[in-house]
Amino acid sequence: MCPADRPRPATSMVPGEVTAMLVMLLAIGLIGACVFTVWSSLGDAPQSAANPGRSGSDTSTTDRARPESLEGALVAQLVSGQISGRQYVHAIEKLAARDDERHPLSVPPEPGPPGGSA
């Protein structure tokens, strides 16, 4: 029997088939990643109070970028050049000291030996 006459096993693939399958898998993965990115960004879009059906694309940039904490306000001032690095560090140190006074950390007691005292 000639090698060309033998039936090809069902598990062997021609290199062109392997390449086509890899290209198809990569294309499906890329499309899936794009759909996921668009879907997640649509879910995060803020809703306007006047037009609840529309996204908040007409709000100004300063409204969206307004810091929500004192640390955020200090970073915004540092980045914009309103305060120097030294002023920022000093303000953060004062903020940490104030926070320590208002909300001191309590260290939990050391665990004793299992089964009580010996």
Tell me, yes or no, if the pTM score tops 0.75. no
Instruction: Look at residue 92 in the predicted model and tell me its pLDDT.
Output: 94
Closest C-alpha among 99, 97, 69, 75 to residue 88: 75
> Residues of the chain whose pLDDT is less than 70?
1-14, 44-65, 115-118
73 lies in a domain?
yes
Question: Is 99 contained in some domain?
Answer: yes
Contact indicator for 85, 79 with CB cutoff of 8 Å: no
Whole-angstrom distance, CA of residue 116 vs CA of residue 9: 71
Number of domains in the chain: 1
Q: Looking at the DSSP assignment, which residues form a beta bridge with residue 47?
A: 55
Residue 90 belongs to what domain range?
Answer: 68-104
pLDDT at 25: 94
